[in-house]
Chain A
Amino acid sequence: MTTKPVQTAIEVVGLRKAFGDKVVLDGLDFEVPRGTVFSLLGPNGAGKTTAVQILSTLIGADGGEARVAGRDVARDPDGVRRAIGVTGQYSAVDGLLTGRENLILMADLYRLGRAEGRRRADALLERFDLVEAAGKLASTYSGGMRRKLDIAMTLVAEPQIIFLDEPTTGLDPRSRRAMWEMVRSLVAGGVTIFLTTQYLDEADRLADRIGVLNGGRLVAEGTSEQLKRMVPGGHVVLRLAGPDGLDAAARVLPASARDDEALTLQVPSDGGVRSLRALLGRLEDEAIEVEEFSVHTPDLDDVFLALTGDTAGDAGDQQDDERKAASR
Chain B
Amino acid sequence: MTPISQAMADSATMLRRNLRHALRYPSLSVSSIITPILFLLLFVGVFGKALGKGVGGVDYIDYVTPGIILMAVASGCMSPSVAVAVDMTEGVIARFRTMPIARSSLLTGHVVGSMMQTLISLVLSVLAAVAMGYRPDAGLGGWLGAAGLMVLLTFALTWFAVALGLLAKGPEGASNSPLLIQFLPFLGSAIVPPDSMPAGVRWFAEYQPFTPMIEALRKLLMGQPAGHDAAVSVAWCVGVAVVGYLWSKRLFNRDPSR
Contacts and interface: CB of A to CB of B under 8 A. Distances in A.
Interface of A: 19, 53, 56-60, 78, 81-82, 84, 86, 88, 90-97, 101-102, 105, 108-111, 137, 153
12 contacts: A19-B257, A58-B94, A58-B97, A58-B98, A59-B256, A60-B257, A88-B95, A92-B94, A93-B92, A94-B90, A110-B99, A111-B9
A194 B20 CA distance: 34
Instruction: Summarize B's interface: helix, strand, loop or mixed.
Output: helix
A99 to B, nearest CB: 13
Contacts of A86: 95, 98
B256 A58 contact: yes
A90 B91 contact: yes
Interface centre among B90, B95, B99 (most CB of A within 10 A): B95
Contact of B1 (A57, A97, A108, A111): A111
A102 B17 CA distance: 9
A95 B256 contact: no
B26 to A, nearest CB: 12
Contacts of B90: 94-95
A96 B20 contact: yes
Contacts of B99: 81, 109-110
Nearest to A93: B92
Interface size class of B (residues with CB under 8 A): 20 to 34
Nearest to A60: B255
Given A92-B94, A109-B99, 17 more contacts: A19-B257, A57-B98, A58-B97, A58-B98, A59-B256, A78-B100, A81-B98, A84-B98, A92-B95, A93-B92, A96-B24, A96-B25, A97-B21, A102-B92, A105-B17, A109-B13, A109-B96
Contacts of A96: 20-21, 24-25
Interface string B195-229: 00000000000000000000000000000000000
Contacts of A137: 24
B101 interface: yes
Given A81-B98, A84-B98, A105-B13, A92 B257 contact: no
A151 to B, nearest CB: 12
B100 A82 contact: yes
A91 B256 contact: no
B257 A59 contact: yes
B20 A97 contact: yes
B169 to A, nearest CB: 14
Interface in B99-131: 99-101
B257 A53 contact: yes
Contacts of A109: 10, 13, 96, 99, 101
A57 B96 CA distance: 11
Interface in B11-33: 13, 16-17, 20-21, 24-25
Given A86-B98, A109-B10, A59 B255 contact: yes
